Amino acid sequence: MGMNAIFFAWNRSIPGRENLSAEHFDDYVKYLEGLKQKGTITTYDVVFLANHGGDMNGFFFIQGDPGKLDGLVASENWQTHMVRANMHLEGSGAVRGFTGQAALQQKKLWNSLIPE
């Protein structure tokens, strides 16, 4: 099983670019909705974190078939959204991950590599 999740997080809008962030957020949600309708992704959640003094204040959690996610992150549309985000968000970035059975398989692999 491959990486079946994408974690896209950010800190905050760059001061003076808040309107760009708000507009891009709406565009990105529409983009994800389209991907969900096409079956490219299975689901996504958006989370805004409560004020806590940290450097991560929100994230999208996207799930889907590993192969489809591979194609997604390699696509021009995905790359365009990531570049746009970097132009108006501080601390934005996306990382792949494992959930469900794929996470359990990663744990099993990890366990197998622990020296005796």
Task: Say yes or no to pLDDT of 1 above 90.
Answer: no
Query: For residues 53 and 28, which has the higher predicted lDDT (pLDDT)?
Result: 28
Q: Domain span at residue 87?
A: 5-112
Q: Among candidates 80, 48, 45, 40, which has minimal Cα distance to 62?
A: 45
Q: State residue 37's pLDDT score.
A: 98
Q: What is the CATH number of the domain that holds 106?
A: 3.30.70.100
- The count of domains in the chain is 1
Mean pLDDT of the chain: 97
Strands laid side by side in the 43-48 sheet: 43-48, 58-63, 5-10, 93-97
Q: State residue 72's pLDDT score.
A: 98
Band of the pLDDT at 28, cuts 50, 70, 90? very high
Q: Write down the pTM of the prediction.
A: 0.93
